[in-house]
Structure 1
């Protein structure tokens, strides 16, 4: 009996020595679940700030698009006004040419009128100086009545011709003068229209300059916000790495505690066996412990569809902003289809991202978490506890997406792994 007690104490001593010398137990992680929760809260806050920045970028891009459209419209208006100015200048030039040609005609008409007036004055002067005797003699010298009538008619025709021609030349001169005056009026009107159009040009150019400055300012703001979003993205990645490290430390601590409990349980059983079994043979002083590490398979996250449209790993980016290193699988499904939790766990993230759209992350413990992206609707919030198969969201096409589908991803100890190793339709 005494010898049996010594053996039991020796066994306990060996177990405790093994526990004390175990490298696993000598490194107890400082991180706690509270620290992980705090780190996740910080990450969530960063994601919220990043989302606000991305929304600001989206708003600025909308403003940029509107400003660019307005600038384009102003450019078109400037071109139209320039065409009007050019047309008016051509019309003014044409009017000036017509005015010059009319001035020449007017000058010629005035000369003709003067010549006709001079001829008429000479005849009147001749008649005045010679008196009526010349015409009387002309008539008396006629040798017949017929010649007399012819000579009388000749004298009348000369006077009538002089008057008619003078009236005609005066009318022509006045008509040409009226035409010249009308052309000059039209030219003045065209000149006024040109002046007004040029004033419009100046106003549009001023507005165009202001809009171009505004566009430059918007581009600068987009650049600043994009840099800020990139900084948030880097901070989020760093926070994710920190969370993964903490979770690994907690897992390590849990494993150490489990090993310690197992060793203590083995020692307790050994002690109990020594007390109850006084006839133990030489080979029965040890105990055999079987540790089973159960691995629960994950559920298929989209009951409505089993069609995978894009697998895990390298691929050609399907749309601007989408990754070419696919960190999950894409499951095609109609908008509004149910998305279920692949396993029970705690919702660590339920928010919106510019690239992932509405998305959920569920932490299942032991360093395993699942990700559900591009949702049309989220049905859970961060901190909620969910069961396997519980509907947590609806299929959609938010974020960087080419159509309605679920992007499903699996993270193991902080790294993305192929979901096909965990789930199947």
Structure 2
């Protein structure tokens, strides 16, 4: 008899050891949900970083466009300053040539006048006697004297005129040189502005390139996290379906529209361009637009296998309809059922909201077969 009691005790001990050594399926499911939520949090952070990087990139592109406009204007101004400087330089050279010519003319006149003056004053009375003896009469003598006097006076007047012209040209040359120097200074300033703008543009382009690389890295992070989230989502649904099957399950069909009276689809099931990464990705459900607080109905009879918070879907409910078919109702403002509860088709299970990753009041409605998403609208051909 003692021997017979030992066997049940040993079996019971092994059972207890087994249950303590291996986690329960409920614990595994809970860990899987937590893992999905952690990934969703990371994805949310990556998307936030991506949004900030994209916003920064847009600002930098706008700044670059503004710089391009400024550079174009600066280049136009620089061209004008270069033209003004070239014109001023041409005028200075022309004035300098005129001044040099007048200077030479003045020197030639001064030289001629000097020679005549020296000849007259050095000869003194001899020159007058020569004029007297060389003249046929007194009248001719007086005429010759008047001629020489006028010649000297004309040379002196011409010399005075040349000096005056020289001074005027010299003043004009100084003014032109001043204008040329100002033009050169303005040209240098314009060139400095151009160089600084080009330098700033280069720095902006380098920063933009770095930003684009960071954006690409964030794209990759979002894609990776999205793939991980989808993988965990599939795993959770399969575990939930298996758990529902062990509890007996039900056999229901999807036949009731989840938000009667509201049929506007803002984002259908299928492949789409991701609003953040701009890459093609699968939208696993159908978004139905409805006012906040609108009643959400069960699309068919089944068992609630999940009712609670999810990072991406916010307040959500998953109903197992049996046969591997389940339906999901996301972004609810408030839930009206609990996990493990049996529901009937058309029963109110919650209310439309905008919780989780949502940009407006709507219901995210999914249908999965064997854990795989399918187009919910194929259950509603009419």
Note whether the superposition's TM-score is higher than 0.5: yes
Give how far 1:394 is off. Answer: 5.3
Q: How does 1:315-394 map to 2 (within 5 A)?
A: 321=278, 327-331=284-288, 333=289, 336=291, 338-343=293-298, 345=304, 346-352=306-312, 360-366=315-321, 368-372=326-330, 379-380=333-334, 388=348, 390-393=350-353
Q: TM-score, normalised by structure 2?
A: 0.71
Query: Where does the alignment leave 5 or more consecutive residues of structure 1 unmatched?
Result: 1-28, 259-292, 353-357
CA distance in 1, matches of 2:261, 2:292: 6
CA distance in 1, matches of 2:167, 2:367: 100
1:36 is matched with which residue: 23, 29, 33? 29
Given that 2:64 and 2:204 are in contact with CA atoms closer than 8 Å, whether structure 1 keeps it comes out as yes
Given that 1:340 and 1:390 are in contact with CA atoms closer than 8 Å, whether structure 2 keeps it comes out as yes
Q: Classify 1:390/1:362 alpha carbon distance in 2 versus 1 (closer, same or farther; 3 Å).
A: closer
CA distance in 2, matches of 1:203, 1:195: 12
Q: CA RMSD in A?
A: 4.2
Q: Classify 1:409/1:114 alpha carbon distance in 2 versus 1 (closer, same or farther; 3 Å).
A: same
**1:300 corresponds to:** 257
1:172-196 CA distances to partner (integer Å, 9 max, x unpaired)? 1122222222222333333333333
Give how far 1:170 is off. Answer: 0.7
CA distance in 1, matches of 2:350, 2:308: 16
CA distance in 2, matches of 1:151, 1:210: 87
Query: Where does the alignment leave 5 or more consecutive residues of structure 2 unmatched?
Result: 1-21, 342-346
Aligned length: 341
Give how far 1:200 is off. Answer: 3.3
1:243-283 CA distances to partner (integer Å, 9 max, x unpaired)? 1221122123223xx8xxxxxxxxxxxxxxxxxxxxxxxxx
Higher relative contact order (CA 8 A, sep 6+): 1
Which structure has the greater CA radius of gyration?
1
Give how far 1:34 is off. Answer: 4.0
Q: What is the SS of the residue equivalent to 1:410?
A: strand
Q: Classify 1:155/1:381 alpha carbon distance in 2 versus 1 (closer, same or farther; 3 Å).
A: farther
Q: TM-score, normalised by structure 1?
A: 0.65
Give how far 1:56 is off. Answer: 0.3
CA distance in 2, matches of 1:100, 1:316: 71
